[in-house]
C-alpha cells in the first residue's frame, strides 16, 4: 500500500530525508496551482512553491503524529505568502480594484479566453474570499479543514463560500458582458405557465 | 425545508458534502422552489466554470533540484566512519526485511498474536532504524541497547551516563525497544509511552521517568493512566500524547524494533551491541564496555 503523506512526512522528520522528494513530486503542482490561482503570476508562484518546501523541511520537527499533512502544508503556504509580500511591502496576490472594463461578449467563446476572464474575475474578488473559494473549490479540502486552517467556525466558512461564489458570479458577468442568464429562468417559466 | 435553510446548505451542496437527510430535503426543495432553484443553478454553473481556469504546469526540475540540494546539505557529511555505519544500517534493514518476509511466509509471529498488528510504515522503519540517540550522532562508535522498561535489570542509565562522560565525542548510544510482551504486560504500553513523548520531543525525559518510576507502574492495571499522568508531569500535550499512545504508527515502530532485535539474535534484555557486534556482559558491565571502547578507539585511530 502506498505510504500516506503523513507517513512520508514523519519519515522525513525522523531522518529518512529521501522521502521528501516523494512529497515534492506529489504536491508541487497542487501548491503551484494554489498560488497561481491566487495571483495569476507564474514566476512568483514557482518561487513560493520552493519557499514552502524549504520551510516544510526546515520545520519538519514540528510535524508529529497528530498533524495532518495537507492542513500543515497550507498553513505554511499561507505564512510564506504573507511573509514574502510583507517584505516587499505589496502583495500582488491581494490586488483587486474592480475597475476592469467589460470585455466584448464575442470574446467569451474561446475556452482560453473564457479561462482568462474567469481568472480575472477571481483576481477581482476580495482576497479573503478568493483564498477561501480556491481552498474550497480546488484544494480538495473539507470545510472542517478550511475552518481549522483559517481559525474560524465551520458555519462561517460555509456562509462565506456561498457569498464568495455569488460575488464571483456578479464580477464575472460584469467583466465578460455576459447576460445574467441565457436560458429562461425556471421561475419565469413557471410564472408564464401559471 | 425553508428557503433560508436551503441557502445555509448551498456551500455543502456545491461541494457535494451534504449528508442525508439534508441532501434529499434540499434536492426536494430545489425541485419545488423555482427561486432557490434559479439561484442554485447559477451558483453551480459558476462553481463548475471555475474549473475552466487554465493553470500552467511549469517544469519542476529546477525547484526540485534546489530543494533536494537543501535536503542533501543537511544529510550527514561523509567521513571515514560512514561506510561502517552504513553497513550497520544496511544490516539492520536487511534483518528487518528478512524477518518481515519470514513473518509473511509463515503467517504467524510471536508478536502478532496479541491483536491485529499494523504494518510497519515508513516513519516506523525510519524510527526503528535510527533508534533514540544520546551522545554525538556522528561519533565513531555506536553502542546500541535493546531494552524493556519493565525489566528490572534494564536500567542502564548510570552506565551510559558514565560512558558518555568519559567518551563525550566517541560514542553514539542508541536505545531500541525490545519489550518482552509474553512476561511483561506493561512493557509494550511503556515503550509506546516513551515514543508518544518522543513525538513531542521528550523521549529521553519519559525514558528516564519510566525507568525511575518502574515500581509504580510495572504491575499496575492502570498503567496507561499513569503514563498519561507522567506525560502531564513532563508538560506534554495530554491529548496528543494519548493519541500517540494508542497510535498504530507508534506500535509499528516498536514491533519493527523487536523484529530487528530478534533477527540480531537477542534472547533476553538488556542486550548491547557495539558497532553491530553483540556484547556478552556480566556483572561489572561498565568496566567491560569501557575496556571494549578503549580498544575499539585504539583500533580506529590506528587505521
- Torsion (CA) A41, A42, A44, A49 in degrees, nearest 10: 130
Same domain, A83 and A128: no
More confident residue, B218 or B300: B218
pLDDT of residue B89: 52
- Dig out the grid coordinates for B163 from the structure: 560512558
Question: CB distance B43–A162 less than 8 Å?
Answer: yes
More confident residue, A91 or A53: A53
pLDDT of residue B129: 56
Residue A32 has pLDDT above 70, yes or no: yes
pLDDT of residue A98: 40
pLDDT of residue A111: 56
ipTM of predicted assembly, 2 dp? 0.74
Instruction: Give the residue on B whose Cα is nearest the Cα of A37.
Output: B55
Same domain, A100 and A74: no
Does residue A186 form part of some domain? no
In the predicted model, what is the mean pLDDT of residues B206-231? 93
Question: Where does a domain end: A37, A65, A93?
Answer: A93
Residue A147 has pLDDT above 60, yes or no: yes
Range with lowest mean pLDDT among B86-90, B112-116, B220-224, B227-231 = B112-116
**Predicted confidence (pLDDT) per residue in B9-47, tens digit:** 788 888 888 888 888 888 888 888 888 888 888 888 888
Question: Where does a domain end: A30, A60, A93?
Answer: A93
- B292: closest CA among B136, B171, B135? B171
Q: B50-85 burial, b for 16+ CB within 10 Å, e for fewer?
A: beebebeebebeebbeebbeebeeeeeeeeebeeeb
Question: Is the CB of B32 inside 8 Å of chain A's CB atoms?
Answer: no
Residue A100 has pLDDT above 50, yes or no: no
**Predicted confidence (pLDDT) per residue in B88-109, tens digit:** 455 455 555 555 554 444 443 3
- Dig out the grid coordinates for B183 from the structure: 512476561
- A65: closest CA among B197, B265, B219? B197
Same domain, A107 and A75: no
pLDDT of residue A183: 37
More confident residue, B248 or A155: A155
What DSSP element (H or E) covers B171?
Answer: strand B171-177
Same domain, A63 and A118: no
Same domain, A85 and A104: no
Q: What is the CATH number of the domain that holds A148?
A: 1.10.10.10
Same domain, A139 and A157: yes
CA distance A29 to chain B (A): 7
Which CATH code is given to the segment(s) B81-302?
Answer: 3.40.30.10
Does residue A89 form part of some domain? yes
Does residue A158 form part of some domain? yes
CA distance B199 to chain A (A): 6
Measured from the Cβ of residue B2, the count of other Cβ atoms closer than 10 Å reads: 10
Same domain, A153 and A86: no
**Predicted confidence (pLDDT) per residue in B130-187, tens digit:** 678 898 888 888 899 999 999 877 888 889 999 999 998 899 999 999 998 888 889 9
Q: Which sequence spans correspond to the domains of chain B?
A: 3-52, 81-302
pLDDT of residue B188: 93
Contacts of B90 (CB under 8 A, 6+ apart): none
Does residue A192 form part of some domain? no
Q: What is the CATH number of the domain that holds A56?
A: 1.10.1740.10
Question: Where does a domain end: A63, A93, A123?
Answer: A93
pLDDT of residue B75: 57
Range with lowest mean pLDDT among A77-91, A168-182, B101-115, B276-290 = B101-115
pLDDT of residue B222: 92
Contact residues, chain A, for B197 at CB < 8 Å: none
**CA–CA separation, A48 and A45 (whole Å):** 5
Number of domains in chain A: 2
pLDDT of residue B155: 85
Does residue A148 form part of some domain? yes
Asked whether the beta carbons of B67 and A24 are under 8 A apart, the reply is yes
Same domain, A89 and A100: no
Question: Is the CB of B183 inside 8 Å of chain A's CB atoms?
Answer: no
Instruction: Select from A10, A53, A118 the Cβ nearest to the Cβ of B67.
Output: A53
**CA–CA separation, A118 and A100 (whole Å):** 13
Instruction: Give the residue on B whose Cα is nearest the Cα of A165.
Output: B43
Residue A22 has pLDDT above 80, yes or no: yes
Does residue A193 form part of some domain? no
Residue B289 has pLDDT above 60, yes or no: yes
**CA–CA separation, A6 and A65 (whole Å):** 8
Instruction: Select from A11, A54, A166 the Cβ nearest to the Cβ of B123.
Output: A11
Contact residues, chain B, for A5 at CB < 8 Å: none
CA distance A59 to chain B (A): 12
- The whole-model pTM stands at 0.50
**Predicted confidence (pLDDT) per residue in A121-137, tens digit:** 999 999 889 999 999 88
pLDDT of residue B145: 92
Residue A3 has pLDDT above 50, yes or no: yes
Beta bridge partners of B146: B176, B271
Beta bridge partners of B175: B132, B145
Average of per-residue pLDDT values in chain B: 79
Average of per-residue pLDDT values in chain A: 78
Residue A188 has pLDDT above 70, yes or no: no
Measured from the Cβ of residue B93, the count of other Cβ atoms closer than 10 Å reads: 14
Range with lowest mean pLDDT among A140-149, B104-113, B119-128 = B104-113
More confident residue, B292 or B7: B292
Burial of B302 (0-12, 13-18, 19+ CB in 10 A): exposed
pLDDT of residue A89: 53
Contact residues, chain A, for B126 at CB < 8 Å: 10-11, 14-16
pLDDT of residue B208: 93
Residue A49 has pLDDT above 70, yes or no: yes
Asked whether the beta carbons of A132 and A160 are under 8 A apart, the reply is yes
pLDDT of residue B217: 93
Question: CB distance B42–A3 less than 8 Å?
Answer: no
Residue B241 has pLDDT above 90, yes or no: yes
Question: Is the CB of B17 inside 8 Å of chain A's CB atoms?
Answer: yes
List all residues of chain B from 217 to 246 with a beta carbon under 8 Å from chain A. 239-240, 243-244
- Torsion (CA) B20, B24, B26, B32 in degrees, nearest 10: -170
- B189: closest CA among B212, B222, B215? B222
Same domain, A69 and A102: no
What's the sign of the alpha-carbon dihedral A138, A141, A147, A149? negative
Same domain, A44 and A13: yes
pLDDT of residue B42: 83
Which residue segment(s) compose the domain that A100 sits in?
Answer: 96-181
Q: Kindly state the percentage of chain B with pLDDT values over 70.
A: 81
Does residue A194 form part of some domain? no
Same domain, A32 and A58: yes
Residue A185 has pLDDT above 70, yes or no: no
Instruction: Give the residue on A whose Cα is nearest the Cα of B67.
Output: A54
Q: Kindly state the percentage of chain B with pLDDT values over 90.
A: 26
pLDDT of residue B97: 56
Same domain, A111 and A75: no
Amino acid at each position: 500500500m502506498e505510504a500516506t503523506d503523513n507517513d512520508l512526512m514523519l519519515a522525513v522528520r525522523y531522518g529518512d530525508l529521501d522521502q521528501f522528494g516523494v512529497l515534492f513530486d506529489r504536491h508541487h503542482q497542487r501548491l503551484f496551482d494554489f498560488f497561481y490561482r491566487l495571483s495569476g503570476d507564474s514566476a512568483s508562484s514557482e518561487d513560493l512553491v520552493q519557499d514552502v518546501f524549504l520551510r516544510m523541511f526546515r520545520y519538519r520537527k514540528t510535524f508529529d503524529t497528530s498533524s495532518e499533512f495537507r492542513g500543515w502544508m497550507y498553513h505554511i503556504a499561507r505564512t510564506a505568502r504573507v511573509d514574502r509580500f510583507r517584505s516587499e511591502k505589496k502583495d500582488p496576490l491581494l490586488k483587486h480594484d474592480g475597475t476592469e472594463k467589460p470585455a466584448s461578449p464575442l470574446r467569451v467563446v474561446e475556452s482560453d479566453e473564457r479561462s482568462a476572464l474567469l481568472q480575472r474575475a477571481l483576481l477581482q474578488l476580495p482576497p479573503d474570499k478568493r483564498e477561501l473559494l480556491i481552498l474550497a473549490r480546488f484544494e480538495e479540502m473539507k470545510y472542517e479543514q478550511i475552518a481549522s486552517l483559517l481559525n474560524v467556525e465551520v458555519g462561517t466558512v460555509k456562509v462565506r463560500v456561498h457569498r464568495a461564489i455569488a460575488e464571483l458570479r456578479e464580477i464575472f458577468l460584469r467583466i465578460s458582458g455576459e447576460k445574467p442568464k441565457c436560458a429562461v429562468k425556471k421561475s419565469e417559466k413557471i410564472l408564464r405557465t401559471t | 425545508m425553508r428557503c433560508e435553510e436551503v441557502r445555509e446548505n448551498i456551500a455543502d451542496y456545491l461541494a457535494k458534502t451534504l449528508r442525508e437527510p439534508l441532501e434529499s430535503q434540499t434536492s426536494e426543495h430545489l425541485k419545488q422552489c423555482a427561486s432557490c432553484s434559479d439561484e442554485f443553478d447559477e451558483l453551480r454553473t459558476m462553481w463548475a466554470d471555475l474549473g475552466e481556469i487554465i493553470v500552467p504546469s511549469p517544469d519542476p526540475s529546477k525547484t526540485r533540484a534546489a530543494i533536494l540540494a537543501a535536503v542533501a546539505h543537511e544529510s550527514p557529511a561523509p567521513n571515514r566512519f560512514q561506510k561502517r555505519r552504513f553497513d550497520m544500517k544496511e544490516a539492520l534493514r536487511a534483518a528487518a526485511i528478512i524477518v518481515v518476509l519470514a513473518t509473511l511466509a509463515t503467517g504467524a509471529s510471536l508478536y502478532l498474536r496479541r491483536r491485529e498488528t499494523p504494518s510497519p510504515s515508513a516513519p516506523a522503519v525510519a524510527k526503528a532504524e535510527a533508534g533514540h540517540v544520546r551522545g554525538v550522532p556522528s561519533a565513531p562508535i555506536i553502542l546500541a541497547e535493546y531494552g524493556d522498561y519493565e525489566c528490572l535489570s534494564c536500567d542502564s542509565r548510570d552506565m551510559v551516563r558514565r560512558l558518555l562522560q568519559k567518551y563525550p565525542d566517541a560514542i553514539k548510544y542508541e536505545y531500541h525497544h525490545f519489550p518482552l510482551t509474553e512476561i511483561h504486560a506493561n512493557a509494550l504500553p511503556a515503550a509506546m509511552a516513551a515514543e508518544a513523548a518522543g513525538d513531542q520531543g521528550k523521549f529521553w525525559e519519559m525514558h528516564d521517568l519510566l525507568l525511575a518510576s518502574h515500581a509504580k507502574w510495572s504491575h499496575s492495571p492502570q498503567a496507561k493512566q499513569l503514563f498519561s499522568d507522567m506525560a502531564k508531569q513532563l508538560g506534554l500535550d495530554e491529548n496528543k500524547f494519548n493519541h500517540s499512545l494508542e497510535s498504530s504508527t507508534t506500535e509499528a515502530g516498536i514491533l519493527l524494533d523487536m523484529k530487528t532485535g530478534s533477527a540480531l539474535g537477542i534472547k533476553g534484555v538488556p542486550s548491547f551491541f557495539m558497532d553491530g557486534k553483540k556484547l556478552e556482559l556480566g556483572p561489572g558491565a561498565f568496566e567491560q564496555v569501557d575496556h571494549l571502547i578503549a580498544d575499539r578507539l585504539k583500533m580506529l585511530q590506528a587505521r
